[in-house]
Amino acid sequence: MAIGSAFINDFHYHEAYGLHFQGIGGTLIILGCFHFMNLFITLLGAVKHNKFLLFISIVCDVTVFFLQMGLGQVRCDLLNVEYFGFLKKGVIQATVPVFDLALRQDCSRRFRLSTQASKCNDYLEDEYTAGFRLLWLIGWLVG
């Protein structure tokens, strides 16, 4: 729930990732409340040895799992990542950087060593790179 409230309230997340993180933050808060209620169902089922309550707890856990995976899938849709199948590429593909490590490191230097200017321009003008640069600049100016 703390991460969800940070996604909603912190403008640095909005500048770096976009305003859709407010909706993701709200969903994380709702899932946190749902999981907290499931904790009491599980505790009551374990103390009273009630198999029906334990079964309901398992159903709630599976529901929370698929809702969280669906939240990751929404993130992939916002990134316009092509995927087929729910778990095959969806959540994993969104975390893989678009540009390789050598290009990112070389373009982050003040003077490039081996990368062409056109490739660095593609990297520096990318939506998420620009968002993080704006976040860094605001943090540097404010801090």
**Residue 10 backbone zone (phi > 0: left; psi -120 to 50: alpha; other: beta):** beta
Task: Output the CA torsion sign for 25, 27, 33, 38.
Answer: negative
Closest to 94 in 3D by CA, of 118, 120, 70: 70
- DSSP assignment, residue 125? T
pTM given for the model: 0.50
Q: What is the mean pLDDT of the chain?
A: 76
Instruction: Judge whether residue 76 has pLDDT over 50.
Output: yes
Q: What is the band of 70 on the pLDDT scale with cuts at 50, 70, 90?
A: confident
Quote the pLDDT of residue 41.
93
Q: H or E segment at 139?
A: helix 127-142
Q: Is the pLDDT of residue 17 over 70?
A: no
The CA distance from 106 to 119, in Å, is 10
Distance of alpha carbon 117 from alpha carbon 57, whole angstroms: 56
> Could you tell me if 29 and 5 are in contact, meaning their C-beta atoms sit under 8 angstroms apart?
yes
Q: What pLDDT is attached to residue 88?
A: 46
Confidence of residue 57 (pLDDT cuts 50, 70, 90): very high
Structure tokens belonging to residue 51: 């198999």
Q: Is 57 exposed, middle or buried (0-12, 13-18, 19+ CB in 10 A)?
A: buried
